[in-house]
A = this chain, B = another copy of it.
Amino acid sequence: MSQGDGVGRDPVRAYAERARESWTKALVEWLRIPSVSALPEHAADCAAAAAWAAGRLDAMGVPAQVVPAPNAGGLPLVVARRDEDPALATVLLYGHYDVQPADPLDQWTSPPFAPRIVGDDVFARGADDNKGQCWAVLCGVAALLGAEGRLPVNLRVVLEGEEECGGHALADLVAADPDRLRADAAWAADGSLFTPGLPAIYTATRGIVYAELEACGGETDLHSGMYGGAAPNPLLALCHVLAGCKPWNGAVTLPGFYDHVQRPAADELAAWAALPFDEAAYQRDEVRAPALPGEHGYTLLERLWARPTFEVHGIVGGFVGAGAKTVIPSRAVAKISLRLVPDQDPMEVVRALEERVNFLRPEGVTLTLRALEAEPPVRLPTDHPVLDAGRRALSAGFGREPALVRMGGSLPALAVIAKVLGIPTVMTGFGLPDDRLHAPDEKFHLPHLVHGAVATAAFLREVGRLGARVRLG
């Protein structure tokens, strides 16, 4: 591939190799800031992490500001722009500066906000998700400006601080001023390579409906000796309803649930089948369960990427202390979610869920459904010049043609950028599958700072080369 020829001779890569050490030092600085968005006591740390990024963008020549969240109590966004020439295409870069809570602290080998470098890896909360990846993206801009003094595109940057806490500051910002982030192409690195050495581009993410289902029986807790045999048991009622929504190895039983589910095209399925994916190793080393149960008739990757799910995340109610207490609780609440795939509509799914649980409602209990989240599934380009630009960029950065995959999870920012703003988006990742994001000993592979920066710079060049043509894509 022509990109392969360029590796090592590209002035951007040469710049990046030279900068790696100072970039690493800078990343360590950022990782020291415990910008945990879910915990209000870290609000000042979040602001500091935003200010750090804005300062770096300013320093590299991309004027940035920290924008207070439009929503009350929200966390600020970093918004930056650099205009080169109105005739050039415009690229939006996305990332997030907030991180997951670090607990359980006792399972970390070293403190989560005291970054530790071992060989080529840095260990810290946020090392992969998303500071390491996001910093690689910003370093790509720095390298291009450092090597060439100008950018081949106009640039927009948005870094949010509520990705890990389900906030909507970004959505509100876009709703208030859609033009602020308008671009011809977007680039986001908040995922991972498919396997070490094999970069990936995501062509879809799953959406989600998250809900609480409350079952109420008697008006007070009752003693199972005195009332067992007469009083309705809300916990047992939830068991019946939830089991009735999802046969163990079968399809979700909500009415119309699969009506809009699109099966991936034959070539997409063929490409997945050709991926270097070892199902036995996945079961043994990742899930570590006796079996991988799931819907009959679908491959594992199809179940993970292209089939909706029904999960129970927690059940609240009754007695959960040590020992034995014979209470029939007055009420119990299940936390459940459904992952959605293109083209399921979250609001339709909420209605179908309501219909199904009411159909299954056992005599003697009342059921109340509360939807807490509803994010649509997102399709990303599978046939678009911007996707081709992304493929070439990743090849340039990582020396290998990327795989086209999907993401089982949701990334609400994509619904804003790709769906609301309609920007053709290349969603990729510079992490590794074993980076333990959201878990103790999260890490980031430092050579990917260089590869990710080179890929980002290559993407800006590729889109710049497309020029006005991209708008017709």
> Which residues of A pack against B, CB within 8 Å?
166, 206, 208, 210, 217-220, 222-233, 235-240, 242-244, 246, 248-249, 282, 286-295, 300, 303-304, 307, 309-320, 323-329, 335, 337, 339, 362-366, 372-373, 407-410, 438-439
Contacts and interface: CB of A to CB of B under 8 A. Distances in A.
A318 B315 CA distance: 8
A231 B324 contact: no
A310 B22 CA distance: 65
Contact of A324 (B210, B227, B230, B323): B210
A106 B307 CA distance: 49
Contacts of A307: 229
A364 B293 contact: yes
Given A312-B235, A323-B166, A227 B304 contact: yes
Contacts of A365: 289-290
A225 B206 contact: yes
Nearest to A247: B240
Nearest to A289: B218
Nearest to A362: B248
Contacts of A335: 318-320, 324-325
B232 A292 contact: yes
A289 B231 contact: yes
22 contacts: A166-B323, A217-B287, A218-B288, A219-B289, A225-B410, A227-B408, A229-B294, A229-B304, A230-B292, A231-B287, A235-B315, A239-B240, A239-B242, A249-B363, A289-B365, A290-B365, A293-B363, A293-B364, A313-B318, A313-B319, A313-B328, A324-B372
Given A219-B288, A239-B239, 17 more contacts: A208-B326, A227-B287, A227-B408, A229-B294, A229-B300, A231-B292, A232-B292, A233-B312, A238-B239, A289-B364, A290-B363, A290-B366, A292-B364, A313-B318, A313-B326, A314-B317, A324-B335
Contact of A409 (B225, B242, B313): B225
Contacts of A224: 309, 311, 313, 337, 339
A163 to B, nearest CB: 13
A230 B363 contact: no
Instruction: Give me the 5 closest cross-chain CB pairs, A-B, nearest first.
Output: A225-B409, A229-B303, A314-B318, A219-B288, A291-B364
Contacts of A438: 223
A368 B110 CA distance: 35
Given A292-B232, A320-B316, A287 B218 contact: yes
Nearest to A316: B320
Nearest to A279: B230
A356 to B, nearest CB: 14
B337 A217 contact: no
A242 B235 CA distance: 10
Contact of A248 (B210, B237, B303): B237
B228 A304 contact: yes
Given A218-B288, A238-B239, A363-B248, A228 B339 contact: yes
A110 to B, nearest CB: 20
Contacts of A300: 229-230
Contacts of A227: 286-287, 304, 408
B313 A228 contact: no
Contact of A315 (B166, B309, B320, B407): B320
